[in-house]
Amino acid sequence: MKETIANLKKVMVFGKKYKKSLYIQLFCCIVFIITNVVLPILGSKQLLYLTNNIFEELFWTSVLILSIAIFNALIRVLLRRNTQIFFRGVTRDVQVRLGNEILKIEVADIDKNGTGKFIQRIGSDTNELSHIFTMGMGHLTGLLSNIGIFVAVFIINKIAFLYYLIVSIILTIIYLIKVRKFNQKDKEFRMQNEKTSGLSTELIRGVRDIKMLNARNSFMDEIERNINLLSLRQFEMRNVDMDFNCLINIVQVIAEFGLIILMILLIKSKLLTISSAIIIFSYRTRLLTNLMEKVGDLLTEIKNFNLSSNRVFSVLENKEFKKEKFGKKHIDSIKGNFEFKNVHFEYKNGKKVLDDISFKIKENETVGFVGKSGAGKTTIFSLICKLYDIENGTIKIDGIDIKELDEESIRGNITIISQNPYIFNMSIKDNLRLVKENVTDEEIKQACQLACLDDYIETLPDKYDTIVGESGVILSGGQRQRLAIARAFIQNTKIILFDEATSALDNETQNKIQKAIDNLKEKYTILIIAHRLSTIVNCDRIMLLDEGKIKVEGTHKELLRKSKIYKKLYETESIEK
C-alpha cells in the first residue's frame, strides 16, 4: 500500500493540470455507486406493485427508473470524456518527460541495455501509469458499489448478509491466489516480451545488413527461439487464468444454488418477505461475481501500476541507469581550443582504447587523425562531445575542464558528422530543421548546395518535402552523409568533427566536399578522421594513432618523411586509385 501511495503521488505531479477532469470522474463514480444500490430496490418494488395491482405506483416507479437510467447514460458519457482527457494528458506528459530523460542516459548504459527496454517503458509502461486513474478508478467504483450493496443486504436480512459475506470471502481468497500466481507468470512474460521486442526492432532496423550478410537463418533462429519462449510464458500465464476461472465458476454455481435454498428456508420461516427476497436475490450477480472480480481487477491494476511506475521512475529518478553529468560553467561562444592531457579510456568490456594520450589543438586549426581501425580515433571524438566520461586525465575546451562545462557549452558548439549518420524518418527539410528550428528555406538550399546534394533533391517529385524513410532508406550512403554534412553547415558551430564523413562518397563528390571543407578552414576548428588520406593532405597537422597512442604528428609532407606507417598507408591508397 505504501508503494502504491508513493507512486500515486509521483504520477499526480503530472496530473495536476488535469485535476478538473479527475474531480468530474470522482463525481460520476459517486453517482454510479448510489444508482447501483438503489436501482435493484426500485426494480423489486415494481414487481411488488405489479403483484398487488398498484398501477399508479408502478407507473411512477417506472418513470423514476427511466429517469435514473437516462441520467446514468449522460453521466457515463461525461465520465468517459473526462477520463480520456486525464489519461491522454498524463500519458503524453510522462512520455515527453521520459523521452527527455532517456536522452540524458549515458551512451554506455544505452549500449549495454539495448533499445527494447526503453521502447517498452516509453510505450506500454507510460500507459499503465494513467490506467490507475481510469480503469483502476472503475474497478474501485465497482468495489465501493458492492460494499454499498452489502450494507443494503445487511439492513434487509442479516442471515442473507452473512451468507453473501462468507461466499464472497471464499471467492476473493481464490481470486487472490489466482492473481498472485498470474502476476508471477506475467512478470516472466514481460521480461521475455521486452527481450523479444528488442530483437524485433533489430530485425527491422538491420534488415538490409541481415540480407547482405546472408544471416537470415541464424537471426531468425534466434528470434524464433525467443518468440517460442514468449509464447510459452504467455501459455503458462493463460493456463493459470483458465484453471482458476474454472474453479471460480464452479464455486459461483454452487453458491447461487445454496442462495436459492436459503431464500426458501427464510421465507418459510417468515424471517424474510418475498419482496425482500427478490431484492436480495437480484444482488447475487454483483455480490457473487463482481466483488471478487473487482477486488482482483483492482489488485491487478495496482500491481501493473506499481510495476510500470517503478520502471518509468527508475529512469526519471536516476535509479537504474546512469545519467550524464555536466558542470555549471557556460560559454556562449567558444574559441575552439582543445587539450587532451594524460587521457586514459576503456569501454565497459575492459578493452583499453586510449592510453595516456596528450595533444593540443588551437582555434581555427584543421587537424587530421589517421590510424588502423580500433586505434581510438572515433573515441577521441566521442570524448570531445562528452558521450563518455574518462577514467583518468583531463580534457579541456578553451582552457576549461570539460567536466566543469554545461551541456550547451559543449554540444551547442560542436557538430559531429559521423561515418554512418542517423537520418530520421521525416522530410529532408525537417531533418535539417532539427538543428535549427527557425532555419529559412534559403539557408536549407544553400547548405545542400555546399554539401553537393541540391541537384539530387531537385530531381525528387516532392523535392525538399520528400520523406526519406527510416534511417534515410531512400537515400544512398553517400547521399545520407551529404545530408548530414548539410545539417552541420546549418548548425554552424565553431567546432566541426568529420568522422570519416566522406568514406561513402565517390571521388567527384568527395572533391566537392573537400572544397567545401577547405572553405571552412581558418574560420572554424576542424578535426577530421580520414579513411582516405587524400581528405587530410591539406590539414595543418596530422596525428597518427596506434594502440591508443599518438605515434607521430606533423604535416602531410613531414609524415611522408618521418613515418613509415603513414607513407605505406598513403602509397597503398595511391596504388588503389
Q: What would the pLDDT profile of 265-281 be if each residue is shown by its tens digit?
A: 888 888 887 777 777 77
pLDDT, tens digit, 9 for 90 and up, residues 149-185: 777 778 778 888 888 888 888 888 888 788 788 888 8
pLDDT, residue 530, reads 77
Give percent helix, percent strand, percent coil of the chain, each to the nearest 5: 70, 10, 20
pLDDT, tens digit, 9 for 90 and up, residues 107-128: 666 666 666 667 667 767 776 7
pTM of the model as a whole? 0.59
Please report, for the chain, the start and end positions of each structural domain, with discontinuous segments joined by +.
2-316, 334-413+495-504+529-577
Report whether pLDDT(365) > 60: yes
Distance, in Å, from the CA atom of 193 to the CA atom of 187, rounded to the nearest integer, reads: 10
Taking CA 424 as the corner, what is the angle to CA 422 and CA 425, rounded to the nearest 5 degrees?
Answer: 140
Lowest mean pLDDT across 18-27, 289-298, 334-343, 545-554: 289-298
pLDDT, residue 345, reads 83
Q: Which ranges of 103-114 does DSSP label H, i.e. alpha helix?
A: 107-113
Write the CA distances from 285 to 217, 293, 329, 498, integer angstroms. Answer: 54, 11, 67, 71
Q: Work out the pLDDT band at 7, boundaries 50, 70, 90.
A: low
**Residue 312 · residue 129 · CB < 8 Å:** yes
pLDDT, residue 186, reads 83
Report whether pLDDT(399) > 70: yes
Beta strands in 219-364 (DSSP E): 338-346, 352-361
Q: What is the CATH number of domain 334-413+495-504+529-577?
A: 3.40.50.300
Q: Work out the pLDDT band at 575, boundaries 50, 70, 90.
A: very low
Taking CA 355 as the corner, what is the angle to CA 353 and CA 359, rounded to the nearest 5 degrees?
Answer: 110
Distance, in Å, from the CA atom of 127 to the CA atom of 214, rounded to the nearest integer, reads: 39
By the 10 Å C-beta count (0-12 exposed, 13-18 middle, 19+ buried), 343 is classed as buried
Beta pairing, strands 338-346 & 495-499:
unpaired
- Shortest CA distance to 453 belongs to which of 435, 426, 431, 471? 431
Enter the DSSP assignment of 321: S
Residue 53 CA to its chain's centroid (Å):
65
Handedness of CA 473, 476, 482, 485 (dihedral sign): positive
Beta pairing, strands 414-417 & 495-499:
parallel
Name residue, grid cell 587532451. Answer: 340
Q: What is the mean pLDDT of the chain?
A: 76
Residues 6+ apart with CB under 8 A from 23: none
Report whether pLDDT(495) > 80: yes
Name residue, grid cell 571543407. Answer: 517
Q: What percent of the chain has pLDDT over 70?
A: 74
Q: Work out the pLDDT band at 198, boundaries 50, 70, 90.
A: confident
Q: Work out the pLDDT band at 359, boundaries 50, 70, 90.
A: confident
**Residue 133 · residue 309 · CB < 8 Å:** no
Q: Tell me how far apart the 2 most distant CA atoms of the chain are, in Å.
A: 118
> 2-316 is classed in which CATH architecture?
Up-down Bundle (1.20)
pLDDT, tens digit, 9 for 90 and up, residues 417-474: 777 777 888 888 888 888 787 888 888 888 888 878 888 888 888 888 888 877 677 7
- Number of neighbours of residue 7 by Cβ within 10 angstroms: 21
pLDDT, tens digit, 9 for 90 and up, residues 203-249: 766 666 666 556 667 777 777 888 888 888 888 888 888 888 888 88
- Shortest CA distance to 492 belongs to which of 447, 529, 456? 447
Distance, in Å, from the CA atom of 187 to the CA atom of 233, rounded to the nearest integer, reads: 9
Three-state SS string across 125-192, please? HHHHHHHHHHHHHHHHHHHHHHHHHHHHHHHHCHHHHHHHHHHHHHHHHHHHHHHHHHHHHHHHHHHH
